[in-house]
Every structure is written in C-alpha cells, then in structure tokens.
Amino acid sequence: MSRLQHVLLWVMGIFYAASGVIHLVDPAFYLPMMPPYLPWHLGLIYLSGLAELVLGVAVLVPATRRVAAWGIILLLVAVFPANLHIALHDVPLGGRAQGFGVWNWIRLPFQTVFIAWAWWYTLSSLPVRPRAPASGYEAAAWTPGSLPPSGSGRG
C-alpha cells in the first residue's frame, strides 16, 4: 500500500468511526434526515451509527479491511435515500430554520467519490515479495520472482 493509500485509509476509518459515535451520542441531529416512508427512525439511526463505528474501526485492521470496505460501500448505498430526501425537501439540519439548498444537491454526487474511496480498499493488495535468502549458494542462485533452488528446504 502506498503512503497516500495508508494516510487516506486512516482518514476514512477515523471519519466513519467518529461519525458513528456522533450518531450514537446525538441521534436527534439525524432525525430530520429520515424519509417519512422509512419505519423505526431512531432505531435506524442507532443501527447506522453502530455500523459506521464498527466499519470505521474494521477497515483499519488488515484482516478485516476488504470486508469492512465492502460494508462501507453497502452502508453508503443504504443511506443514499436519506441524502436524496434532504435534497428533495431542503431539510433543515442542526436546528437551522432552512436547509442548505443547492448544496444538498451538490453533495449527492460525492457519494460516488466516497464509494470509490472505499472500493479502493476492496482491491487485493500487492503480492508480498518473497524473503531473499540470507547468504551462501541460495543467495547467489535466488532472484526475486524465481523459485528457491531445489533442496533448499523452502520449496
């Protein structure tokens, strides 16, 4: 993984984990975002917050990274109707008297950016380079990408 991918991975993980905590601590902030046709508003807010928290942490763990990244993609697809509801109805958030107008619409395409960002971490990582032998005949006969010499105990 490149340095940029590593930094962006941590930014993404921390962002989702922090967002999840905010969902759990202040669910009332998210209530206006909920489309009226969805049931169990408060429960869905807690569920999405828990998912964000767990996925944000899990994407930072190499063993769970790919599954967590797919989970983030599914979560982003699942919450898109709420984002569309905000844009369609200019829903005011955070105690404001009115919504953010055109900015709600500008925000919608960024979901694809967030999905692509998470998708980047679903790709299988670069293969691990085999460890070169320490010394002796094996070191002279072995090159990266080749099989170790027969009888070396490594094949």
Q: Per the domain annotation, does 126 fall within a domain?
A: no
Q: In this structure, are residues 52 and 75 in contact, taking their beta carbons and an 8 Å threshold?
A: yes
- 94: confidence class by pLDDT, cuts 50, 70, 90: confident
Instruction: Please name the residues in contact with 72: beta carbons below 8 A apart, sequence gap of 6 or more.
Output: 12, 16, 55, 59, 114, 118
Both 39 and 115 in a single domain?
yes
Do 82 and 10 fall into the same domain? yes
Dist CA 137 CA 47 (whole Å): 59
Both structure tokens of 111: 């979901």
Share of the chain above pLDDT 70, in %: 79
Domain total for the chain? 2
Query: Residue 49 in contact with residue 23, Cβ under 8 Å?
Result: yes
Task: Read off the tokens for 57.
Answer: 């942490």
pLDDT digits (tens, 9 = 90+) for 37-85: 999 999 999 999 999 999 999 999 999 999 999 999 999 999 999 999 9
Predicted pLDDT of residue 129: 46
- For residue 71, give the H/E element and its range: helix 65-89
Is 125 a member of any domain?
Answer: no
Angle at which helix 41-58 crosses helix 65-89, to 10 degrees, equals 140
Whether residues 106 and 142 fall in one domain: no
> Are both 115 and 71 inside the same structural domain?
yes
Q: What is the mean pLDDT of residues 19-45?
A: 94
Q: Would you state the structure tokens that stand for residue 144, as one six-digit string?
A: 């990266």
Crossing angle between the packed helical segments 41-58 and 3-25, to the nearest 10 degrees: 150
* 113 plus 139 within the same structural domain: no
Rounded Cα distance between 84 and 14, Å, is: 25
* Owning domain of residue 115: 3-120
Q: How far is CA 104 from CA 56, 61, 82, 109, 134, in A?
A: 24, 33, 11, 10, 59
Same domain, yes or no: 36 and 72? yes
pTM: 0.77
Q: Is residue 12 part of a domain?
A: yes
**32 and 75 fall within a common domain:** yes
Q: Is residue 153 part of a domain?
A: yes
